Amino acid sequence: GEWAINATNISGLADGEITASVSALDVEGNLATNETSFTKDTTVAITVDINDTNDDVINGNDENVNVEITGTTTGVEDNQTVTVVVTDEAGNERSFEAIVTNNTYTITGANLSGLNDGELTATATVSDEAGNTATDTDTAIHDKTAVT
């Protein structure tokens, strides 16, 4: 015959490989067993860092047209896409993408010159192959007045 178990709650089990096994005994005393394994994957993490300059300000003397944004991931497979949206206080934004390699990503040459002076917020988002999503933010100060 056939049987099924529906909606088994595995939320208390840790992420990783899970093995489910079943045994059945017929009226003659014959034992049948079977097992299957699957991966539980419910967590990912990401960090983001706007690499501002030594004075902790992204200014207008060509710094704001060549900004580096970096970060790390945990539980995210290689070749997944990270999207970083940098927003100024007025809601203007610039969007950039990078590919995860060995749990890191780098965006080089990000042009933020079109964003207003003041605090900038970078929001990085990534999803793993299982569809789990992680988000992180970082801030930096933008001052388009070039230092002379």
pLDDT of residue 53: 74
pLDDT given for residue 14 in this prediction: 84
Q: Whose CA is closest to 58, among 48, 71, 67?
A: 67
Q: Which two tokens stand for residue 136?
A: 């992180």
Q: Could you tell me if 112 and 120 are in contact, meaning their C-beta atoms sit under 8 angstroms apart?
A: yes
Q: Closest by alpha carbon to 140, among 47, 55, 46, 45?
A: 55
Give the integer Cα–Cα distance in Å for 57 and 77. Answer: 33
How many whole angstroms separate alpha carbon 10 and alpha carbon 104? 30
Cα 129 from Cα 116, distance rounded (Å):
36
State the amino acid at position 90 in one-letter form: A
Residue-wise pLDDT tens digits, 38-49: 888 778 999 999
Q: What is the pLDDT of residue 1?
A: 67
Tell me which residues of the chain have a pLDDT lower than 50.
none
Q: What is the pLDDT of residue 77?
A: 95
Q: What is the model's pLDDT at position 46?
A: 94
> Domain boundaries in the chain?
45-143
Give the pTM: 0.77
Q: 95: part of which helix (H) or strand (E)? A: strand 93-99
Length of the chain measured in residues: 148
**What is the reported pLDDT for 79?**
98
> Can you identify the CATH homologous superfamily of domain 45-143?
Immunoglobulins (2.60.40.10)
